[in-house]
């Protein structure tokens, strides 16, 4: 689980020698870190979803219904295939955004926004499907998937909501 806390500084004085950048540039500096943060949040979602997917592969191999493993049912196979595709898509989007950021390409901000949106949404969907494959067990605190589901949901909010990502992406479409 990912602990999230508020940090509050009241009457905090920062010596000039500890100032990052110039006075008044804090917002600009913070905004420069968002692209990397968005890649990071997408990667966190990917890691969580990948773990849940691996757990679901194992579970569907050992759990039986009607005298056969769950993985032998075509509907389960189709779910797993869709999940695998979403994981690969997310991974490719994150890598693409990382390369653009590293190379300081002009479209790096929109690439990071796209990667964050795609990865956090698709990885949440993957995790939700994994929970479904575990049936009622997936929702129990004895199994880690329910915690991953909650953790991955907040990724659609952190580093700019996915609605904000849509604003960034759509503004880029009409850029002249």
- Residues with a known catalytic role: 159
Closest CA to 60 of 51, 46, 72, 48: 72
In the chain, how many H helices and how many E strands? 6, 2
Closest CA to 98 of 170, 46, 25: 46
User: Please, is 162 exposed, middle or buried when counting C-beta atoms within 10 Å of its C-beta (0-12, 13-18, 19+)?
Assistant: middle
Closest CA to 173 of 126, 127, 107, 115: 107
């Amino acid at each position: 689980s990912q602990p999230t806390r508020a940090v509050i500084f009241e009457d905090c004085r920062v010596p000039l020698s500890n100032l990052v950048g110039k006075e008044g540039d804090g917002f600009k500096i913070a905004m420069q870190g968002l692209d990397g943060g968005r890649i990071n949040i997408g990667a966190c979602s990917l890691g969580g979803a990948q773990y849940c997917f691996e757990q679901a592969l194992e579970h569907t191999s050992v759990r039986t219904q009607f005298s056969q493993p769950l993985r032998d049912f075509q509907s389960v196979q189709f779910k797993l295939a869709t999940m695998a595709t979403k994981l690969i898509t997310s991974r490719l989007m994150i890598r693409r955004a990382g390369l653009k950021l590293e190379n300081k390409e002009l479209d790096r901000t929109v690439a990071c926004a796209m990667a964050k949106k795609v990865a956090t949404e698709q990885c949440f969907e993957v995790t939700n499907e994994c929970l479904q494959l575990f049936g009622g067990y997936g929702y129990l605190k004895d199994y880690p998937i329910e915690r991953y589901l909650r953790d991955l949901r907040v990724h659609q909010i952190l580093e700019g909501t996915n609605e904000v990502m849509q604003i960034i992406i759509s503004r880029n479409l009409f850029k002249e």
